[in-house]
Structure 1
Amino acid sequence: MTQGATQTSDLVLVIDDDPSMRKALGNLLDSVGLGCLALASPEGLKAVDLTGRVACLVLDVRMPGCNGLDFHEAFAHEHPAIPVIFITGHGDVPMSVRAMKGGAIEFLTKPFREQDLLDAIYVGLAQSRQHQTKGQESDDLRRRYASLSPREREVMAMIVDDGLQTKQIAARLGLSEITVKLCRSALMKKLGAASQVDLGMAAERLKAS
Protein backbone atom coordinates (compact mmCIF):
# COMPACT_ATOMS: atom_id res chain seq x y z
CA MET A 1 0.00 0.00 0.00
CA THR A 2 1.49 3.35 -0.89
CA GLN A 3 1.97 6.15 1.56
CA GLY A 4 -1.31 7.86 2.43
CA ALA A 5 -3.55 4.86 1.90
CA THR A 6 -4.90 4.78 5.43
CA GLN A 7 -8.03 3.08 6.65
CA THR A 8 -9.91 6.39 6.58
CA SER A 9 -8.72 7.82 3.25
CA ASP A 10 -10.08 7.34 -0.24
CA LEU A 11 -8.44 4.31 -1.81
CA VAL A 12 -7.66 3.43 -5.42
CA LEU A 13 -7.22 -0.29 -5.96
CA VAL A 14 -5.07 -1.29 -8.93
CA ILE A 15 -4.97 -4.85 -10.26
CA ASP A 16 -2.52 -5.42 -13.12
CA ASP A 17 -0.06 -8.27 -13.66
CA ASP A 18 2.50 -5.89 -15.23
CA PRO A 19 4.91 -4.64 -12.48
CA SER A 20 5.91 -1.58 -14.51
CA MET A 21 2.26 -0.59 -14.93
CA ARG A 22 1.57 -1.04 -11.21
CA LYS A 23 4.58 1.13 -10.38
CA ALA A 24 3.62 3.82 -12.90
CA LEU A 25 0.03 3.98 -11.66
CA GLY A 26 1.17 4.03 -8.03
CA ASN A 27 3.50 6.95 -8.75
CA LEU A 28 0.75 8.79 -10.63
CA LEU A 29 -1.75 8.39 -7.81
CA ASP A 30 0.83 9.35 -5.18
CA SER A 31 1.57 12.51 -7.15
CA VAL A 32 -2.02 13.69 -6.75
CA GLY A 33 -2.35 12.59 -3.14
CA LEU A 34 -4.48 9.49 -3.65
CA GLY A 35 -3.92 6.34 -1.64
CA CYS A 36 -3.17 3.32 -3.82
CA LEU A 37 -3.06 -0.41 -3.26
CA ALA A 38 -1.47 -2.12 -6.28
CA LEU A 39 -1.88 -5.87 -6.70
CA ALA A 40 -0.69 -8.38 -9.28
CA SER A 41 -3.94 -10.38 -9.24
CA PRO A 42 -7.46 -10.33 -7.75
CA GLU A 43 -6.36 -12.92 -5.17
CA GLY A 44 -4.70 -10.15 -3.20
CA LEU A 45 -8.05 -8.49 -2.53
CA LYS A 46 -9.11 -11.34 -0.26
CA ALA A 47 -6.94 -9.93 2.52
CA VAL A 48 -8.28 -6.37 2.15
CA ASP A 49 -11.19 -5.17 4.26
CA LEU A 50 -13.21 -2.89 1.99
CA THR A 51 -16.18 -2.51 4.34
CA GLY A 52 -17.30 1.11 4.38
CA ARG A 53 -14.35 2.27 2.27
CA VAL A 54 -14.63 5.01 -0.32
CA ALA A 55 -12.74 3.37 -3.16
CA CYS A 56 -12.60 2.55 -6.85
CA LEU A 57 -10.88 -0.24 -8.74
CA VAL A 58 -8.60 0.10 -11.76
CA LEU A 59 -8.67 -3.35 -13.33
CA ASP A 60 -6.69 -4.89 -16.19
CA VAL A 61 -8.86 -6.93 -18.55
CA ARG A 62 -6.42 -9.71 -19.34
CA MET A 63 -4.21 -11.31 -16.72
CA PRO A 64 -2.68 -14.80 -16.48
CA GLY A 65 -5.34 -17.20 -15.26
CA CYS A 66 -7.91 -14.45 -14.81
CA ASN A 67 -10.41 -12.67 -17.02
CA GLY A 68 -10.99 -9.18 -15.65
CA LEU A 69 -14.50 -9.04 -17.09
CA ASP A 70 -15.52 -12.24 -15.28
CA PHE A 71 -13.93 -11.04 -12.06
CA HIS A 72 -15.76 -7.72 -12.37
CA GLU A 73 -19.15 -9.41 -12.36
CA ALA A 74 -18.45 -11.14 -9.05
CA PHE A 75 -16.73 -8.08 -7.54
CA ALA A 76 -19.59 -5.74 -8.45
CA HIS A 77 -22.08 -8.06 -6.77
CA GLU A 78 -20.01 -8.20 -3.57
CA HIS A 79 -18.91 -4.54 -3.55
CA PRO A 80 -21.58 -2.45 -5.30
CA ALA A 81 -20.22 0.75 -3.74
CA ILE A 82 -16.83 0.41 -5.47
CA PRO A 83 -16.88 1.48 -9.15
CA VAL A 84 -14.57 -0.19 -11.66
CA ILE A 85 -12.38 1.34 -14.39
CA PHE A 86 -11.00 -1.06 -16.98
CA ILE A 87 -7.60 -0.68 -18.62
CA THR A 88 -6.33 -2.96 -21.39
CA GLY A 89 -3.69 -3.24 -24.07
CA HIS A 90 -5.90 -5.42 -26.24
CA GLY A 91 -9.40 -3.97 -26.18
CA ASP A 92 -12.17 -4.37 -28.70
CA VAL A 93 -15.74 -3.14 -29.06
CA PRO A 94 -17.53 -6.26 -27.70
CA MET A 95 -15.20 -6.23 -24.69
CA SER A 96 -15.87 -2.57 -23.93
CA VAL A 97 -19.61 -3.03 -24.40
CA ARG A 98 -19.67 -5.92 -21.94
CA ALA A 99 -17.64 -3.91 -19.43
CA MET A 100 -19.93 -0.88 -19.62
CA LYS A 101 -23.07 -3.00 -19.46
CA GLY A 102 -21.61 -4.59 -16.34
CA GLY A 103 -21.43 -1.19 -14.69
CA ALA A 104 -17.86 -0.09 -15.40
CA ILE A 105 -17.49 3.68 -15.49
CA GLU A 106 -14.67 3.76 -18.06
CA PHE A 107 -12.80 1.50 -20.49
CA LEU A 108 -9.34 2.80 -21.38
CA THR A 109 -6.96 1.31 -23.95
CA LYS A 110 -3.23 1.41 -23.21
CA PRO A 111 -1.46 3.71 -23.70
CA PHE A 112 -3.99 6.13 -22.25
CA ARG A 113 -3.69 9.74 -21.12
CA GLU A 114 -2.98 10.01 -17.42
CA GLN A 115 -5.58 12.75 -17.09
CA ASP A 116 -8.26 10.51 -18.64
CA LEU A 117 -7.56 7.90 -15.98
CA LEU A 118 -7.50 10.45 -13.17
CA ASP A 119 -10.79 11.95 -14.35
CA ALA A 120 -12.38 8.50 -14.29
CA ILE A 121 -10.95 7.78 -10.85
CA TYR A 122 -12.33 11.03 -9.42
CA VAL A 123 -15.76 10.17 -10.84
CA GLY A 124 -15.49 6.69 -9.34
CA LEU A 125 -14.52 7.96 -5.90
CA ALA A 126 -17.36 10.49 -5.96
CA GLN A 127 -19.83 7.71 -6.82
CA SER A 128 -18.42 5.49 -4.08
CA ARG A 129 -18.67 8.29 -1.52
CA GLN A 130 -22.28 8.98 -2.50
CA HIS A 131 -23.14 5.28 -2.25
CA GLN A 132 -21.50 4.98 1.16
CA THR A 133 -23.31 8.09 2.42
CA LYS A 134 -26.67 6.73 1.31
CA GLY A 135 -25.87 3.42 2.99
CA GLN A 136 -25.00 5.16 6.25
CA GLU A 137 -28.20 7.21 6.10
CA SER A 138 -30.23 4.04 5.52
CA ASP A 139 -28.55 2.31 8.46
CA ASP A 140 -29.27 5.32 10.67
CA LEU A 141 -32.92 5.38 9.61
CA ARG A 142 -33.31 1.66 10.34
CA ARG A 143 -31.81 2.20 13.80
CA ARG A 144 -34.22 5.06 14.42
CA TYR A 145 -37.17 2.95 13.32
CA ALA A 146 -36.04 0.10 15.57
CA SER A 147 -36.23 2.51 18.52
CA LEU A 148 -40.00 3.03 17.99
CA SER A 149 -42.34 1.32 20.38
CA PRO A 150 -44.94 -1.11 18.99
CA ARG A 151 -47.64 1.54 19.53
CA GLU A 152 -45.60 4.18 17.71
CA ARG A 153 -45.09 1.83 14.75
CA GLU A 154 -48.82 1.14 14.71
CA VAL A 155 -49.65 4.85 14.67
CA MET A 156 -47.05 5.47 11.98
CA ALA A 157 -48.60 2.82 9.74
CA MET A 158 -52.05 4.35 10.18
CA ILE A 159 -50.69 7.78 9.23
CA VAL A 160 -48.56 6.68 6.28
CA ASP A 161 -50.38 3.63 4.90
CA ASP A 162 -53.99 4.44 5.77
CA GLY A 163 -53.83 8.23 5.66
CA LEU A 164 -55.75 8.55 8.93
CA GLN A 165 -55.98 11.72 10.97
CA THR A 166 -55.42 11.96 14.72
CA LYS A 167 -59.12 11.72 15.57
CA GLN A 168 -59.58 8.66 13.35
CA ILE A 169 -56.53 6.92 14.82
CA ALA A 170 -57.76 7.63 18.35
CA ALA A 171 -61.15 6.11 17.55
CA ARG A 172 -59.64 3.00 15.95
CA LEU A 173 -57.25 2.36 18.82
CA GLY A 174 -59.59 3.41 21.61
CA LEU A 175 -57.22 6.12 22.79
CA SER A 176 -57.62 9.80 23.55
CA GLU A 177 -56.61 12.28 20.87
CA ILE A 178 -54.01 13.72 23.23
CA THR A 179 -52.39 10.30 23.60
CA VAL A 180 -52.27 9.86 19.84
CA LYS A 181 -50.80 13.35 19.37
CA LEU A 182 -48.09 12.60 21.94
CA CYS A 183 -47.35 9.27 20.25
CA ARG A 184 -47.19 10.90 16.82
CA SER A 185 -44.90 13.65 18.10
CA ALA A 186 -42.58 11.10 19.71
CA LEU A 187 -42.26 8.89 16.64
CA MET A 188 -41.64 11.84 14.33
CA LYS A 189 -38.92 13.10 16.66
CA LYS A 190 -37.26 9.68 16.75
CA LEU A 191 -37.30 9.46 12.95
CA GLY A 192 -36.15 13.04 12.48
CA ALA A 193 -39.31 13.91 10.54
CA ALA A 194 -40.43 17.54 10.69
CA SER A 195 -43.66 16.99 8.75
CA GLN A 196 -46.02 14.31 7.51
CA VAL A 197 -44.30 14.52 4.13
CA ASP A 198 -40.97 13.77 5.81
CA LEU A 199 -42.60 10.85 7.60
CA GLY A 200 -43.90 9.46 4.33
CA MET A 201 -40.49 9.78 2.70
CA ALA A 202 -38.89 8.00 5.67
CA ALA A 203 -41.40 5.17 5.31
CA GLU A 204 -40.59 4.82 1.61
CA ARG A 205 -36.85 4.69 2.32
CA LEU A 206 -37.45 2.01 4.93
CA LYS A 207 -39.40 -0.08 2.44
CA ALA A 208 -36.66 0.29 -0.15
CA SER A 209 -33.81 -0.57 2.22
Structure 2
Amino acid sequence: MSEESPIVTVIDDDESVRESIQGLLETAALRVEAFTSPREYLQARRKDDPSCIILDVRMPGSSGLDFQREMAAAGLQAPIIFITGYADVHMSVQAMKAGAVEFLTKPYRDQDLLEAVLAAIEKDRQRRTDKRALDDIQRRFEALTSRERQVMALTVSGLQTKQIAGAAGISEVTVRVHRREIMRKMNARSLADLVKMGEALRSRGVLLAPETSFDE
Protein backbone atom coordinates (compact mmCIF):
# COMPACT_ATOMS: atom_id res chain seq x y z
CA MET A 1 0.00 0.00 0.00
CA SER A 2 1.30 3.48 -0.86
CA GLU A 3 3.09 5.45 1.87
CA GLU A 4 0.77 8.31 0.92
CA SER A 5 -2.34 6.31 1.76
CA PRO A 6 -4.11 7.53 4.89
CA ILE A 7 -3.64 6.07 8.34
CA VAL A 8 -6.51 5.67 10.80
CA THR A 9 -5.45 5.52 14.43
CA VAL A 10 -7.71 3.71 16.88
CA ILE A 11 -7.20 4.48 20.58
CA ASP A 12 -9.32 2.36 22.91
CA ASP A 13 -8.48 0.34 26.02
CA ASP A 14 -10.95 -2.40 24.97
CA GLU A 15 -9.19 -4.96 22.76
CA SER A 16 -12.42 -6.26 21.24
CA VAL A 17 -13.38 -2.71 20.17
CA ARG A 18 -9.96 -2.11 18.64
CA GLU A 19 -10.10 -5.35 16.70
CA SER A 20 -13.66 -4.74 15.52
CA ILE A 21 -12.92 -1.25 14.22
CA GLN A 22 -9.64 -2.37 12.64
CA GLY A 23 -11.39 -5.18 10.79
CA LEU A 24 -14.08 -2.81 9.51
CA LEU A 25 -11.63 -0.20 8.28
CA GLU A 26 -9.35 -2.71 6.61
CA THR A 27 -12.31 -3.88 4.49
CA ALA A 28 -12.28 -0.30 3.12
CA ALA A 29 -8.56 -0.65 2.27
CA LEU A 30 -7.49 1.75 5.03
CA ARG A 31 -4.29 1.41 7.00
CA VAL A 32 -4.99 1.10 10.71
CA GLU A 33 -2.81 1.54 13.79
CA ALA A 34 -4.30 0.58 17.15
CA PHE A 35 -3.23 1.74 20.62
CA THR A 36 -4.49 1.00 24.12
CA SER A 37 -4.02 4.56 25.41
CA PRO A 38 -3.16 8.11 24.36
CA ARG A 39 0.25 7.72 26.06
CA GLU A 40 1.06 4.67 23.94
CA TYR A 41 0.06 6.64 20.82
CA LEU A 42 2.26 9.62 21.75
CA GLN A 43 5.25 7.36 22.37
CA ALA A 44 4.91 5.66 18.98
CA ARG A 45 6.76 6.80 15.88
CA ARG A 46 4.16 8.28 13.53
CA LYS A 47 4.29 8.63 9.75
CA ASP A 48 3.54 12.01 8.21
CA ASP A 49 0.59 10.84 6.11
CA PRO A 50 -3.05 11.97 5.98
CA SER A 51 -4.67 10.61 9.10
CA CYS A 52 -7.45 10.72 11.65
CA ILE A 53 -7.99 9.34 15.13
CA ILE A 54 -10.87 7.25 16.46
CA LEU A 55 -10.82 7.91 20.17
CA ASP A 56 -12.77 6.41 23.06
CA VAL A 57 -14.13 9.13 25.33
CA ARG A 58 -13.83 7.19 28.59
CA MET A 59 -10.51 5.47 29.28
CA PRO A 60 -8.48 4.77 32.41
CA GLY A 61 -6.56 7.89 33.44
CA SER A 62 -7.17 10.97 31.31
CA SER A 63 -10.33 11.10 29.22
CA GLY A 64 -10.54 11.41 25.46
CA LEU A 65 -11.50 15.06 25.88
CA ASP A 66 -8.39 15.64 28.00
CA PHE A 67 -6.30 14.09 25.23
CA GLN A 68 -8.02 16.26 22.63
CA ARG A 69 -6.90 19.33 24.60
CA GLU A 70 -3.37 17.94 24.97
CA MET A 71 -3.16 17.40 21.21
CA ALA A 72 -4.28 20.95 20.51
CA ALA A 73 -1.69 22.33 22.96
CA ALA A 74 1.03 20.24 21.31
CA GLY A 75 0.04 21.34 17.81
CA LEU A 76 -1.07 17.85 16.74
CA GLN A 77 -3.84 18.36 14.22
CA ALA A 78 -5.14 14.93 13.24
CA PRO A 79 -8.97 15.11 13.12
CA ILE A 80 -10.70 13.17 15.90
CA ILE A 81 -13.79 10.96 15.81
CA PHE A 82 -15.06 10.21 19.32
CA ILE A 83 -16.89 7.02 20.24
CA THR A 84 -18.61 6.41 23.55
CA GLY A 85 -20.94 3.98 25.22
CA TYR A 86 -22.69 6.78 27.08
CA ALA A 87 -24.86 9.44 25.51
CA ASP A 88 -23.72 12.76 26.94
CA VAL A 89 -24.94 15.90 25.15
CA HIS A 90 -22.65 18.24 27.11
CA MET A 91 -19.59 16.11 26.35
CA SER A 92 -20.58 15.89 22.69
CA VAL A 93 -20.92 19.66 22.44
CA GLN A 94 -17.53 20.14 24.10
CA ALA A 95 -15.86 17.75 21.68
CA MET A 96 -17.42 19.27 18.57
CA LYS A 97 -16.61 22.82 19.67
CA ALA A 98 -12.99 21.74 20.10
CA GLY A 99 -12.90 20.52 16.50
CA ALA A 100 -13.98 16.88 16.59
CA VAL A 101 -15.31 15.58 13.27
CA GLU A 102 -17.94 13.30 14.80
CA PHE A 103 -19.20 12.01 18.15
CA LEU A 104 -20.71 8.54 17.83
CA THR A 105 -22.61 6.75 20.57
CA LYS A 106 -22.52 2.94 20.70
CA PRO A 107 -24.06 1.05 19.13
CA TYR A 108 -23.31 3.01 15.96
CA ARG A 109 -23.76 1.84 12.38
CA ASP A 110 -20.61 0.70 10.60
CA GLN A 111 -21.54 2.98 7.71
CA ASP A 112 -21.71 6.00 10.02
CA LEU A 113 -18.20 5.31 11.28
CA LEU A 114 -16.84 4.76 7.77
CA GLU A 115 -18.39 8.00 6.54
CA ALA A 116 -16.96 9.88 9.52
CA VAL A 117 -13.50 8.43 8.86
CA LEU A 118 -13.58 9.37 5.19
CA ALA A 119 -14.74 12.90 6.06
CA ALA A 120 -11.96 13.22 8.64
CA ILE A 121 -9.31 12.01 6.21
CA GLU A 122 -10.51 14.48 3.57
CA LYS A 123 -10.39 17.26 6.17
CA ASP A 124 -6.79 16.35 7.00
CA ARG A 125 -5.81 16.18 3.31
CA GLN A 126 -7.23 19.69 2.80
CA ARG A 127 -5.43 21.00 5.88
CA ARG A 128 -2.15 19.60 4.62
CA THR A 129 -2.71 21.07 1.14
CA ASP A 130 -3.50 24.48 2.63
CA LYS A 131 -0.42 24.32 4.84
CA ARG A 132 1.87 23.51 1.90
CA ALA A 133 0.42 26.44 -0.05
CA LEU A 134 0.90 28.80 2.89
CA ASP A 135 4.44 27.53 3.49
CA ASP A 136 5.20 28.38 -0.15
CA ILE A 137 3.73 31.89 0.21
CA GLN A 138 5.79 32.47 3.35
CA ARG A 139 9.00 31.31 1.66
CA ARG A 140 8.40 33.75 -1.20
CA PHE A 141 7.57 36.56 1.23
CA GLU A 142 10.76 35.94 3.22
CA ALA A 143 12.78 36.15 -0.03
CA LEU A 144 11.65 39.77 -0.53
CA THR A 145 13.97 42.59 0.45
CA SER A 146 13.06 44.62 3.53
CA ARG A 147 11.88 47.49 1.31
CA GLU A 148 9.72 45.12 -0.75
CA ARG A 149 8.17 43.69 2.43
CA GLN A 150 7.36 47.24 3.54
CA VAL A 151 5.77 48.12 0.20
CA MET A 152 3.81 44.87 0.19
CA ALA A 153 2.55 45.54 3.73
CA LEU A 154 1.38 49.01 2.74
CA THR A 155 -0.13 47.72 -0.50
CA VAL A 156 -2.18 44.93 1.07
CA SER A 157 -3.32 47.41 3.72
CA GLY A 158 -5.22 49.20 0.95
CA LEU A 159 -3.02 52.26 0.43
CA GLN A 160 -2.72 53.89 -2.99
CA THR A 161 0.61 54.44 -4.75
CA LYS A 162 0.90 58.07 -3.61
CA GLN A 163 0.13 57.12 0.00
CA ILE A 164 2.68 54.31 -0.07
CA ALA A 165 5.31 56.66 -1.47
CA GLY A 166 4.63 59.14 1.33
CA ALA A 167 4.66 56.50 4.05
CA ALA A 168 7.87 54.89 2.78
CA GLY A 169 9.64 58.11 1.85
CA ILE A 170 10.22 57.08 -1.77
CA SER A 171 8.94 58.24 -5.15
CA GLU A 172 5.79 56.89 -6.77
CA VAL A 173 7.92 55.53 -9.62
CA THR A 174 10.00 53.57 -7.11
CA VAL A 175 6.84 52.23 -5.50
CA ARG A 176 5.67 50.93 -8.88
CA VAL A 177 9.05 49.31 -9.54
CA HIS A 178 9.00 47.58 -6.16
CA ARG A 179 5.41 46.49 -6.63
CA ARG A 180 6.22 44.88 -9.99
CA GLU A 181 9.06 42.97 -8.34
CA ILE A 182 6.81 41.94 -5.46
CA MET A 183 4.13 40.65 -7.84
CA ARG A 184 6.77 38.65 -9.74
CA LYS A 185 8.50 37.21 -6.67
CA MET A 186 5.23 36.37 -4.93
CA ASN A 187 3.82 34.87 -8.15
CA ALA A 188 0.71 37.01 -7.70
CA ARG A 189 -1.55 37.18 -10.74
CA SER A 190 -3.32 40.34 -9.60
CA LEU A 191 -3.46 42.86 -6.78
CA ALA A 192 -6.41 40.95 -5.32
CA ASP A 193 -4.27 37.81 -5.35
CA LEU A 194 -1.50 39.67 -3.48
CA VAL A 195 -4.00 40.92 -0.88
CA LYS A 196 -5.18 37.33 -0.26
CA MET A 197 -1.57 36.29 0.26
CA GLY A 198 -1.11 39.09 2.78
CA GLU A 199 -4.23 37.97 4.66
CA ALA A 200 -2.95 34.39 4.69
CA LEU A 201 0.41 35.51 6.09
CA ARG A 202 -1.30 37.54 8.79
CA SER A 203 -3.38 34.53 9.78
CA ARG A 204 -0.11 32.71 10.48
CA GLY A 205 1.23 35.62 12.52
CA VAL A 206 3.93 36.63 10.03
CA LEU A 207 4.82 40.27 10.68
CA LEU A 208 3.73 42.48 7.81
CA ALA A 209 4.20 45.82 9.55
CA PRO A 210 6.40 48.37 7.73
CA GLU A 211 10.04 48.07 8.65
CA THR A 212 12.48 50.83 9.56
CA SER A 213 15.65 49.56 7.89
CA PHE A 214 15.81 48.43 4.29
CA ASP A 215 17.93 46.53 1.79
CA GLU A 216 17.42 48.41 -1.44
| TM-score, with structure 2 as normaliser | 0.82
Partner Cα separation in structure 2 for residue 168 and residue 90 of structure 1: 60
Tell me, yes or no, if the aligned pair for 1:59 and 1:87 is still in contact at 8 Å. yes
Report the CA distance between 1:57 and its aligned residue: 0.7
**What do the CA deviations read for 1:67-122 (whole angstroms, capped 9, x no partner)?**
22221221233345311111122333333233223322212122221100001111
SS at match of 1:129: helix
Letter of the 2:178 counterpart: C
Tell me, yes or no, if the aligned pair for 1:16 and 1:59 is still in contact at 8 Å. yes
RMSD: 2.6
Q: Trace 1:4-153 onto structure 2 (pairs within 5 A).
A: 4=1, 7-50=3-46, 52-79=48-75, 81-153=77-149
Q: Are 2:190 and 1:195 equivalent residues in the alignment?
A: yes
Q: Are 2:199 and 1:204 equivalent residues in the alignment?
A: yes
Report the CA distance between 1:176 and its aligned residue: 7.5
Tell me, yes or no, if the aligned pair for 2:151 and 2:164 is still in contact at 8 Å. no
Report the CA distance between 1:55 and its aligned residue: 1.2
Partner Cα separation in structure 2 for residue 151 and residue 107 of structure 1: 50
For this pair of structures, how many residues does the alignment match? Answer: 204
SS at match of 2:4: coil
Gap change, CA 1:62 and 1:192, over 3 Å in 2? same
SS at match of 1:127: helix
Tell me, yes or no, if the aligned pair for 1:141 and 1:191 is still in contact at 8 Å. yes
Tell me, yes or no, if the aligned pair for 1:142 and 1:206 is still in contact at 8 Å. yes
SS at match of 1:37: strand
Letter of the 1:121 counterpart: V
Partner Cα separation in structure 1 for residue 89 and residue 7 of structure 2: 29
- Structure 1 unaligned segments of length 5 or more: list them: none
Report the CA distance between 1:195 and its aligned residue: 1.3
Partner Cα separation in structure 1 for residue 198 and residue 40 of structure 2: 41
Partner Cα separation in structure 2 for residue 174 and residue 85 of structure 1: 55
Letter of the 1:198 counterpart: D
Report the CA distance between 1:56 and its aligned residue: 0.9
Gap change, CA 1:67 and 1:81, over 3 Å in 2? closer
Gap change, CA 1:123 and 1:77, over 3 Å in 2? farther
Report the CA distance between 1:48 and its aligned residue: 3.7
- Structure 2 unaligned segments of length 5 or more: list them: 205-216
SS at match of 2:196: helix
Partner Cα separation in structure 1 for residue 153 and residue 94 of structure 2: 44
Partner Cα separation in structure 2 for residue 67 and residue 123 of structure 1: 24
Partner Cα separation in structure 1 for residue 175 and residue 121 of structure 2: 46
Of residues 36-45 and 99-108 in structure 1, the stretch that sits farther from structure 2 once superposed is: 99-108
Letter of the 2:200 counterpart: R
